[in-house]
Amino acid sequence: MAREDAARLTIGLMVLLLPGLGAYTIIPLAAIFLLDRGTRLLSASLAMLLIMRPLLSLTDTNLPLYVIAMSFVAAAFSPLAFRKFDSLAGSIIYLFINVGLGYPIASLISGGAISSERILFLAILGGLSGAFLHHVSRERDFTVPFGTAMVMWLFSFDYPLPELERILLICIFALVLGIGAYWAKAADSDAVLSETIVCLLVILFAGLSWFVLLLAFYLLGGAFTRYGYSQKHKLGIAQSHGGRRGYKNVYSNSLAPLALAILYGVYGHDVFMFAFIASVATANGDTLASEIGETSRSKPRLITTLKETEPGVDGGVTPLGEMASLAGSLIIGLLATGMGMVGISGIIVAALGGFLGTNFDSLMGATLQNRGVLSNNGVNLAATVFGALIGGGLWFMLQFI
């Protein structure tokens, strides 16, 4: 066994010292810091979490010890999964290790004060976020333990959770969907982890029907990315990597709907549902407008000046793209109404919110994106937030009709 691996495993085993030593576990961590250069950043980041806990308690803020304990596991044991496996297989094994070791350790440290459902949920969330951070970060020994701890801490507040079996089923369902997208070459491994996290949180906080709307967007987006792909490729405007989506695309389009689903789960107010529908309609309408509009025979026109421009230029719109935007928005509204989430008003909210959100995306593309102020992902995020605001505003208007 290499010296660094031995040091990493020793750090992982220090999790057993946490119940007795607490913040004083930084003393053996300091010894590892001095003895092994390869794990110094890992030792320092875990020590920082241990020091943060008593400091935060001075402000009546609690960073649970079991969250830090699961961060030890995620940082010390789980990365070994990537040594002999590719990124996706390594991520799944990483998740299993994090749950298999993190769950019993957190249960032991919490002393029964926390429900088994909450510990399992946090262990799964920590495993998924840790695997994601392991992929995308260059400073893994800092971002994995610290980032994992922050994600689990964010969701460590009290809210209702389903039974253990249902949490596991939701996790398996989310993974199967993600792996299916990977095999279909619609998403890379980082996007699989991102979509799994989104699926888990949306279903747990808001319900399956909410995720079905996002799933419709993912499926339609993947399908229409390949619509007329050869023509787009010849024009040099096709999505890179054969249309396979990455994590930035997932989060830029899903972050606003995800936040709204969580808010609905916490507060239960219908305004978040209307905003969610309009936000997803914006993402779907914008994707279909771009992918279908780029195949239009008529030249696009800049939304700001209505002057003709070249295909693929940010802010360019076509009649075909506008119709595709409206159709994509209507699909989301029809699904929401068909599943009983909302009444007929949901179709209006989706159509109007999605259409206006898509054109707001074009406006941002023609201005801020062309000037280099926002990236394409930044514009997508801004558009879905704008669509959500339209949906929320329409809900308030409907209260007076």
Highest-scoring range by mean pLDDT, 87-91, 133-137, 148-152 = 148-152
Check residue 223 and give its pLDDT.
82
- Kindly report the number of other CB atoms within 10 A of residue 301's CB atom: 17
| Averaged pLDDT for residues 356-360 | 97
Give this prediction's pTM: 0.92
Residue pair 72/26 in contact by the 8 Å Cβ criterion: no
Check residue 132 and give its pLDDT.
92
Condensed to tens digits (0 to 9), the pLDDT of residues 14-45 reads 998 998 898 899 999 999 999 988 899 999 99
Phi and psi, residue 302, nearest 5°: -65, 135
| Averaged pLDDT for residues 364-374 | 92
Q: Helices 116-136 and 87-110: crossing angle, nearest 10°?
A: 140
Domain extents for the chain? 204-401
Choose between 238 and 47: higher pLDDT: 47
pLDDT higher than threshold 80 for residue 225: no
Check residue 227 and give its pLDDT.
60
Phi and psi, residue 317, nearest 5°: -130, 155
Residue pair 331/223 in contact by the 8 Å Cβ criterion: no
Check residue 234 and give its pLDDT.
55
Residue pair 63/153 in contact by the 8 Å Cβ criterion: yes
pLDDT higher than threshold 70 for residue 228: no
Listed in sequence order, the residues at least 6 apart from 144 whose beta carbon sits closer than 8 Å to its beta carbon are 74, 75, 79, 130, 133, 134, 137
| Averaged pLDDT for residues 78-99 | 79
| Averaged pLDDT for residues 56-83 | 86
Check residue 83 and give its pLDDT.
67
Check residue 229 and give its pLDDT.
54
Bridge partners of 317, per DSSP, are: 301
Condensed to tens digits (0 to 9), the pLDDT of residues 313-350 reads 889 999 999 999 999 999 999 999 999 999 999 999 99
Side-chain-side CA neighbours of 48 within 13 Å: the count stands at: 14
pLDDT higher than threshold 60 for residue 60: yes
Q: How confident is the model at residue 1 (pLDDT cuts 50, 70, 90)?
A: low
Check residue 93 and give its pLDDT.
87
* CA end-to-end distance (rounded Å), the chain: 71
Choose between 333 and 78: higher pLDDT: 333
3-state secondary structure of 282: helix
Residue pair 261/215 in contact by the 8 Å Cβ criterion: no
Q: How confident is the model at residue 280 (pLDDT cuts 50, 70, 90)?
A: very high
pLDDT higher than threshold 90 for residue 272: yes
CA distance 276 to 353: 10
Percent share of the chain, pLDDT over 90: 67
Cα torsion for 345, 350, 262, 92, to the nearest 10°? 130
Mean residue pLDDT of the chain comes to 90
Residue pair 194/251 in contact by the 8 Å Cβ criterion: yes
| Averaged pLDDT for residues 228-234 | 54
Bridge partners of 245, per DSSP, are: 187
DSSP 8-state secondary structure symbol assigned to residue 187 = B
